[in-house]
C-alpha cells in the first residue's frame, strides 16, 4: 500500500477528495500525512477530522531560506513514510532540491488547461482571455511552475455571465473528479513518463467522459 502525503495552503477541498477516495478503497494507497506551510490553513483541521495526521511547517519561520523550508517539509513527509506527494493548493514555489527529491512521484492540480494560464488565478486568466473552454489539469511536478508532464485534464464550458466564482466552482467539481483518478493510476504504477508525455498502461473502464484525456492505451 503506497503512502500519500498531501501539501496544502488553504481550504483543502482537493485534499478531502483524495482522502475520501483512499478511505473508500478506490485507490490502493493510504493518506499518511497532510502538511501545510500555513498553520492557519483550514485544510489542516479538515484533515484531522477525517482521521489523518496533519502538521504545519510555517513558512514564516524560514524567511529567505526556501530550501531549508523545503527540507523541513520533506523531513516530515519522509518521517511519515510517504511514497507519493500530492500538491493540493500548495502556494509555494518549490526548490529544485525538493522537486528532485520527489521526482516522478509528485503530482499537482492546476485550475486551467495547461499549458494555458499557469501561475496564480488560472480561472481569472481564462475569463480575461475570453476562452470558451476552461478546465483543470493534473500533472507531474517538474522544476517549472505548472509545467510538468500532463496526466489528465477535464474541460468545462465557459458560460455567458460567468464570473470567477461560478467558473471556479464548475472547474473545482472536475478537479475533485480527476485528481483521485490520477492518484489511483500513479499508486497502481501505471503511469510512465516519456519525455513530456505521460502514458497510461492498460485499459481503464472507469475512465470518465470524452472531455477527459488521456485516452487509454493497450
Distance CA 187, CA 79 (A): 19
Which three-class secondary structure state does DSSP give residue 49? helix
Catalytic (active-site) positions: 110
Task: Show the binding pattern over residues 18-57: x = contacts ligand GRF (CB under 6 A), - = does not.
Answer: -------------------------x--------------
Among 27, 107, 109, 182, binds ligand GRF (CB under 6 A): 109
Judged by CB under 6 A, does residue 148 bind ligand GRF? no
Instruction: Give whichever of 2 and 43 is closer to ligand GRF, judged by the CB atom.
Output: 43
Using the rule CB under 6 A, is 12 a contact of ligand GRF? yes
Q: What is the per-residue binding string for ligand GRF in 157-196, x denoting contact by CB under 6 A?
A: ---------------x--x---------------------
Distance CA 147, CA 135 (A): 15
Burial class (CB in 10 A: 0-12, 13-18, 19+), 25: exposed
Question: Which region, judged by CB under 6 A, interacts with ligand GRF, from 3-11, 45-53, 186-194, 201-209?
Answer: 3-11
- Only one residue has cell 478537479, namely 175
Give the Cβ contact number of residue 61 at 10 Å: 13
Cell reading at 37: 506551510
Would you say 162 or 175 has its CB closer to ligand GRF? 175
Question: Phi and psi (nearest 5°) for 59?
Answer: -65, -25
Task: Number of residues interacting with ligand GRF: please give it, by CB under 6 A.
Answer: 15
Q: Which of 66, 56, 105, 64 is nearest to 82 (CA)?
A: 105
Binding site for ligand GRF (CB under 6 A): 8, 10-14, 43, 88-89, 109-111, 136, 172, 175
Amino acid at each position: 500500500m503506497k503512502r500519500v502525503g498531501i501539501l496544502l495552503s488553504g481550504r483543502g477541498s482537493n485534499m478531502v477528495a483524495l482522502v475520501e477516495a483512499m478511505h473508500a478503497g478506490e485507490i490502493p494507497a493510504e493518506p499518511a500525512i497532510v502538511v501545510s506551510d500555513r498553520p492557519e490553513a483550514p485544510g489542516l483541521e479538515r484533515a484531522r477530522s477525517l482521521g489523518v495526521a496533519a502538521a504545519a511547517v510555517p513558512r514564516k519561520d524560514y524567511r529567505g531560506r526556501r530550501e531549508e523550508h523545503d527540507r523541513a517539509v520533506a523531513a516530515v513527509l519522509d518521517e511519515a513514510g510517504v511514497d507519493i506527494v500530492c500538491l493540493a493548493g500548495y502556494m509555494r514555489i518549490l526548490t529544485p532540491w525538493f522537486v528532485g527529491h520527489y521526482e516522478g512521484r509528485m503530482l499537482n492540480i492546476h485550475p486551467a488547461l495547461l499549458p494555458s494560464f499557469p501561475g496564480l488565478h488560472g480561472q481569472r486568466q481564462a475569463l480575461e482571455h475570453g476562452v470558451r473552454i476552461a478546465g483543470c489539469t493534473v500533472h507531474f511536478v517538474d522544476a517549472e511552475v505548472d509545467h510538468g508532464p500532463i496526466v489528465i485534464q477535464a474541460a468545462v464550458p465557459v458560460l455567458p455571465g460567468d464570473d470567477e466564482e461560478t467558473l471556479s466552482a464548475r472547474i473545482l467539481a472536475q478537479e475533485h473528479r480527476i485528481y483521485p483518478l490520477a492518484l489511483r493510476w500513479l499508486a497502481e504504477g501505471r503511469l510512465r513518463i516519456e519525455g513530456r508525455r505521460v502514458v497510461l498502461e492498460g485499459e481503464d473502464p472507469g475512465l470518465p467522459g470524452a472531455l477527459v484525456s488521456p485516452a487509454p492505451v493497450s
